[in-house]
Amino acid sequence: MSGNHRREGGGAMAGLFVLLLPIFFPTLFTTLSHASPTIPSDLNAPKFRHSRLAKSALQRQTSNEVQSELWTPLAHQGWKPCTESDAASTVPEKSEGYIQVFLDGGLNQQRMGICDAVVVAKILNATLVIPQLEVNPVWQDSSSFEDIFDVDHFINVLKDDISIIKELPDEFSWSTREYYGIAIRPTRIKTAPVHASANWYLENVSPVLQSYGIAAIAPFSHRLTFDNMPKYLQHLRCKVNFQALAFVPHIRHLGDALINRLRYPPSEGNMISNNYLREVTDLKPKQGAGKFAVLHLRFDKDMAAHSACDFGGGKAENLALAKYRQVIWGGRVINSQFTDEELRSQGRCPLTPEEVGLLLAALGFDNNTRLYLASHKVFGGERRISALRSLFPLMEDKKSLASSEERALIKGKASLLAAVDYYVGMHSDIFVSASPGNMHNAMVGHRTYNNMKTIRPNMALLGQLFLNKTLTWPEFQESVVEGHQNRQGQIRLRKPKQSLYTYPAPDCMCQA
């Protein structure tokens, strides 16, 4: 493992050098950044904003005791997965018709919509057509359900609950998204309110099924309530999310390969080509499997602009983000009415890669930590990530761990890239989500269901700490540790209006 130690030292020094470049050569970093960074825009990322803390973090020493406690799995909390309903679930002898749903959003929003669609079909005693996924307007991803999820597994797991078909019969082949996009159609349900009740579907959709034999519900995301639902329907939701939705084999195989490479990193002597990782995947070092953490770094241009926060890129960056807000949302972003200090003190600013790195360092992750970066396009590119990389030189991602040939099937497909990250995240020792969002919600819920350690940043606390420019490293570290003692996967019972996909207890879990 001497190669790793050399990489650690060299990576840290190189990272620090890169971070200090903009301090001494500020004119190099005046170009406007973009969500898909080219080489010039990579140089636009701001200088090290928390240099006093970063200097101490780079020199940090973590005791074996702290390391041991940090990586220790969660103790049993008195809850266990529970998706079997007390009431016998049966498929009705006669279907009332076919239900279609058209789902927008990214992978995890679509995942929740799929779960709700199954339950709506159950409420209506209808046959569900495999949901259609709309082209993602942000990432321009046209991946279908079949591209992401194992359809046969999905149908088989739910065969005793509802009837599911892959395609409509020929007599209904006219019912397509194009058909509904050019005129008002009596078979399309456009009026489903957000968090509609089961009774709403019985009163408004059942008559359409009875008249036409089919109903297409669009838009559908977030169109089913979490409250006042029979227990057997809540359990069905859980069954879909935690059992029926499995990724297609090539996603799982690539995920397994990445996990294996994180747990069994090759020694320097095994680096025999640019694709050495693939060639030595099956090597198992004598010391056994290592531990690794997954960091979901949600810091794309869309997120940065919508937050209306200042990320240190100067006037040019702030003007660019303001222009983006105007183009995408007509400038109507609620946060725009607050100052940056107000937003940060309220925890409403996404953490930058640098700030996430300081959080992890304060919690006790040392520079030997194997960190997997689950992220799409980071606003500011590699220049912005370099602060994080200097603190964690053993950080990896899909590109560094897999060859271009291995990544060919997921290249350019945001949903498939996210699926790989989700799969790796579900097999990590620790998962950390930098900012709230659909991926955060889905992973927190799924790992809670499996009693796995998951660190949820205290956004308000961190925002206040980073505003304090006189804070010393020991003071920062003490505040961070104290503020995250109960944010590492402890069971939190779902409250009214909260999502069971984020808070699976008590709907999806039973007290052991």
222-253: pLDDT as tens digits: 999 999 999 999 999 999 999 999 999 999 99
- What is the CA angle 56-57-58, rounded to 5? 90
Supply the pLDDT for residue 457. 96
How far from each other are the two terminal CA atoms of the chain, in whole angstroms? 42
Mean pLDDT across the stretch 193-200? Answer: 97
pLDDT of residue 34: 33
Under DSSP, is residue 25 helix (H, G, I), strand (E, B) or coil?
Answer: coil
What pLDDT sits at residue 46? 52
**Least trusted range by pLDDT, from 151-155, 167-171, 295-299, 468-472:** 295-299
Nearest to 432 by CA among 503, 358, 323, 342: 358
Q: What is the mean pLDDT of residues 22-34?
A: 34
Q: Which amino acid is it at 98?
A: Y
Among 330-334, 362-366, 482-486, the least confident range: 330-334
Locate 333 and state its tokens: 């972003």
Pairing of β 79-81 and β 509-511: antiparallel
Q: Cα–Cα distances in Å, from 156 out to 30, 97, 107, 136, 446?
A: 56, 20, 22, 28, 21
- Helix axis angle for 51-58 and 353-363, nearest 10°, is 50
Distance between alpha carbon 495 and the CA centroid of its chain, in Å? 22
Burial profile 211-246: b = 16 or more Cβ within 10 angstroms, e = fewer: ebbbbbbbbbbbbbbbeebeebbbbbbbbbbbebbb
**Tens-place pLDDT, residues 320-347:** 999 999 998 888 888 888 999 999 999 9
Q: What is the mean pLDDT of residues 36-46?
A: 41
What pLDDT, on the 0 to 100 scale, is given for residue 424? 98
> Token pair of 153, please?
């597994």
How far apart are the C-alpha atoms of 493 and 364, rounded to whole Å? 28
CA dist 440 and 257 (Å) reads 23
For residue 10, pLDDT over 80 is answered with no
CA distances from 194 to 223, 224, 228, 484 (A): 5, 7, 15, 33
Task: With a cut of 50, say whether residue 275 has pLDDT above it.
Answer: no
Q: What percent of the chain has pLDDT over 90?
A: 73
Whether the CB-CB separation of 465 and 345 falls below 8 Å is answered with no
Q: Is the pLDDT of residue 104 over 70?
A: yes
Span 182-208, average pLDDT = 97
Backbone angles phi, psi at 67, to 5 degrees: -60, -45
Confidence of residue 135 (pLDDT cuts 50, 70, 90): confident
pLDDT of residue 383: 86
Mean pLDDT of 286-314: 88
Given pLDDT bands bounded at 50, 70 and 90, which one contains residue 286?
very low
| 217: phi then psi, degrees, rounded to nearest 5 | -105, 115
* Cβ neighbours around 200 below 10 Å, total: 17
- List, for residues 427-463, the tens digit of each pLDDT value: 999 999 988 889 999 999 999 999 999 999 999 999 9
For residue range 48-103, list pLDDT tens digits in order: 789 999 999 999 999 999 999 999 999 999 999 997 766 656 888 899 999 999 99
Could you say which DSSP state residue 336 is in?
G
- 360: pLDDT strictly greater than 60: yes
Residue 378 has pLDDT above 80, yes or no: yes
pLDDT at 417 over 90: yes
Q: Does the pLDDT at position 355 exceed 70?
A: yes
pLDDT number for residue 276: 40
